[in-house]
Structure 1
Amino acid sequence: MAKIRIMLADDHTLFRQGIRTLISSEPDMEVIGEASNGGDAVEKAGELRPDVVLMDIGMPGLSSFEATRQIKKNRPETKVLFLTMYDDEDYLVEGMEVGASGYVLKDSPAQQLVAAVRDICRGGSYLSPRMLSQLVDDFRSRIKSANRLPRFATLTTREREVLKMLAEGNSVKEIACDLNLSVKTVEAHKFNLMRKLDIHNKAQLVQYAIQKKIIKIPNLA
């Protein structure tokens, strides 16, 4: 069976040596190269064509996120696993956006890292349990906050503008022209506001706008 070919990208030599020792003890894995900064990681990943790059966040030079984006662009089949000390959701989100397959904290048990490498090589994704727990807690908190807010309060200023103009009978094209937006952008605002308000058609939208006094019923007298 072919071994999983791993490249290390971290600016701390002692840390790379420790990870190399750990990986070398696994019968199905091998370290094929190392890099100490983002630019070097991109170059060596192109030369060595690893199955997995273990990528630190915060290396000098080219950012780890940009390095990951370039590695994935040059060779999509290479998996990138962030191995970092930062338990920061913003870093996690940015890492996923540029194509990383997983996020492991440096204080995790060694076998979590080994399991993460195997998982992403099988086509899966991996999050350190602590990061996953933080995401779940944050999600629950947002749901509670959303449930406490009146639905109208969840709309952005732009969504409220679009709601009013739709209820007044303007078409998406007319709204796009008046607000100097693309039709696609107005369609997105329309979709989001209807989802937030749990509205499914134009009649419900007009009824809601009247109830909330967003528009007035025309005086037919």
Structure 2
Amino acid sequence: MPEKIRVLIADDQTLVRTGFRVILEAEGDIEVVAEADTGTEAIRQAQLVEPDVIMMDIRMPQLDGLAATEEILRHPDPPTIVVLTTFDQNEYIYRALRAGAAGFLLKDAPSTRLIAAVRAAATGDSLIEPSITQRLVERFAEPAPTGGTPPQLAPLTERELDVLRLIARGLSNAEIAAELVVAETTVKTHVARILTKLGIRDRVQAVVVAYETGFVTRGR
């Protein structure tokens, strides 16, 4: 039997933590190994239990989720962090993505999306609500002047640039494969090479890079 996905839930609301725990532990492949009600406790528990995925609320006492995310991701081989948020926290979400969070989930999302978010985070595959991620980056990134391939993306091949452009549009690996008429395994290889060449952790940071370099811009 494969190992379960180990999850830490960090949120200052007891009802939220309890609800998430009940939903996640009903799944045979997920285990909630710890909870935290402050950013400081989230850091401590992350070091203590070494979860695979952290569901991190932004607004918590002592130390907020953004600062906790930055601290946790400074350590070697950190867990994947998914930020829990509400619609009025867009700017914080973008800062969290830049800090290295793998994505975000609306706190009132259906249980199916919570489960899918944990599984996606554990595998490094596409994020939940990729179109929202794209909208946030469009709103808060400061794109560089366009014109040719940005120097930061020079290591990428033409096909890898094609894949990056589609990642920035919020497409999953399967959707990119269909768009480019290639196998999904080929897309996964391209994505892995893009992340390695750009020195970034995951595809969300790839979206940020695509917009901040001006490679992809609003409406382009």
In the alignment, which residue of structure 2 is the partner of 1:89?
90
Note if contact 1:105-1:128 (Cα within 8 Å) is conserved in structure 2: no
What is the alpha-carbon distance in structure 2 between the residues aligned to residue 130 and residue 58 of structure 1?
24
Aligned residue pairs: how many?
146
Flag the 1:122–1:87 CA change in 2: closer, same or farther, 3 A.
farther
Q: How far off its partner does 1:64 sit?
A: 0.9
Q: How far off its partner does 1:110 sit?
A: 1.1
What is the alpha-carbon distance in structure 2 between the residues aligned to residue 64 and residue 101 of structure 1?
14
Gaps of 5+ in 2: 146-213, 215-220
What is the alpha-carbon distance in structure 2 between the residues aligned to residue 3 and residue 137 of structure 1?
36
Flag the 1:125–1:46 CA change in 2: closer, same or farther, 3 A.
farther
What is the alpha-carbon distance in structure 2 between the residues aligned to residue 41 and residue 117 of structure 1?
17
Deviations 1:109-149 (A, max 9, x none): 1111111111121123524367247448859xx99xx9xxx
* Matched AA of 2:70: R
3-state DSSP of counterpart to 2:27: coil
Q: How far off its partner does 1:57 sit?
A: 0.9
3-state DSSP of counterpart to 1:100: coil
Identical aligned residues as a percent: 38
In the alignment, which residue of structure 2 is the partner of 1:111?
112
Q: How does 1:1-221 map to 2 (within 5 A)?
A: 1-128=2-129, 131-132=132-133, 134-135=135-136, 138=139
What is the alpha-carbon distance in structure 2 between the residues aligned to residue 54 and residue 27 of structure 1?
18
Note if contact 1:46-1:75 (Cα within 8 Å) is conserved in structure 2: no
Note if contact 1:87-1:131 (Cα within 8 Å) is conserved in structure 2: no
Flag the 1:36–1:68 CA change in 2: closer, same or farther, 3 A.
same
Q: How far off its partner does 1:62 sit?
A: 1.1
Gaps of 5+ in 1: 147-194, 196-221
Q: TM-score, normalised by structure 2?
A: 0.59
* Matched AA of 1:69: E
Q: In terms of mean alpha carbon deviation, does 50-59 or 115-124 score higher?
A: 115-124
Note if contact 1:101-1:124 (Cα within 8 Å) is conserved in structure 2: no
Flag the 1:20–1:135 CA change in 2: closer, same or farther, 3 A.
same
Flag the 1:108–1:129 CA change in 2: closer, same or farther, 3 A.
farther
* Matched AA of 2:119: R
Q: Which has the larger radius of gyration?
A: 1
Ranked by relative contact order (alpha carbons within 8 Å, sequence separation 6 or more), the top structure is: 2
Deviations 1:134-189 (A, max 9, x none): 448859xx99xx9xxxxxxxxxxxxxxxxxxxxxxxxxxxxxxxxxxxxxxxxxxx
Flag the 1:86–1:76 CA change in 2: closer, same or farther, 3 A.
farther
